[in-house]
């Protein structure tokens, strides 16, 4: 079911500062800022040869990232995203196996313009998992 790692997401309290760190200190290529109102975040992707790092900043206090940053004020790893060929088939298989799909269970369009779903961290070794259809 799982394909390659698409990205690892890091919640940050200051997107501009985090972007500068990755770009200026680590020498990474970074994308332009994207605002994703449906997900309550602004994001920047750090482009790597074999994957990406997604830097996430909350849009406002209602964002799930804001709640994460309340518990982790310096930021930290938020989720890992795996690619899947068919997100509906993956969702249905996971539900049949007892995994919990977050939200209403229907895919939303993510930052790459593709359908995504999130899986409950308690079902996956304490890690929030995002699935993205390729």
Encoded tokens for 132: 């993205």
Q: Is the pTM of this model over 0.85?
A: yes
83 is catalytic: no
Q: How far apart are CA 59 and CA 87, in angstroms?
A: 27
What is the span of the domain harbouring residue 9?
5-133
Distance of CA 118 to the CA centre of its chain: 9
Q: Is 80 exposed, middle or buried (0-12, 13-18, 19+ CB in 10 A)?
A: middle
Catalytic residue, from 54, 57, 83, 130: name it: 130
In a structure prediction context, what are the per-residue pLDDT tens digits for the chain, which is 134 residues long? 999 999 999 999 999 999 999 999 999 999 999 999 999 999 999 999 999 999 999 999 999 999 999 999 999 999 999 999 999 999 999 999 999 999 999 999 999 999 999 999 999 999 999 999 99
Give yes or no for a contact between 68 and 88, defined as CB atoms under 8 angstroms apart. no
CATH number at residue 38: 3.10.180.10
């Amino acid at each position: 079911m799982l394909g390659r790692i698409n990205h690892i997401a890091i919640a940050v309290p200051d997107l501009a500062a985090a972007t500068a760190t990755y770009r200026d200190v680590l020498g990474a290529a970074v994308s332009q800022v994207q605002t994703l109102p449906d997900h309550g975040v602004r994001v920047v992707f750090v482009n790597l040869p074999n994957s990406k790092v997604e830097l996430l900043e909350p849009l406002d206090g209602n964002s799930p990232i804001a709640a994460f940053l309340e518990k982790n004020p310096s930021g930290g790893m938020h989720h890992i995203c795996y690619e899947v060929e068919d997100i509906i088939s993956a969702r249905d298989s996971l539900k049949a196996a007892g995994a919990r799909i977050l939200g209403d269970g229907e895919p939303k369009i993510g930052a790459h313009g593709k359908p995504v779903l999130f899986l409950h961290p308690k079902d996956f070794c304490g890690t929030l998992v995002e699935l993205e259809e390729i």
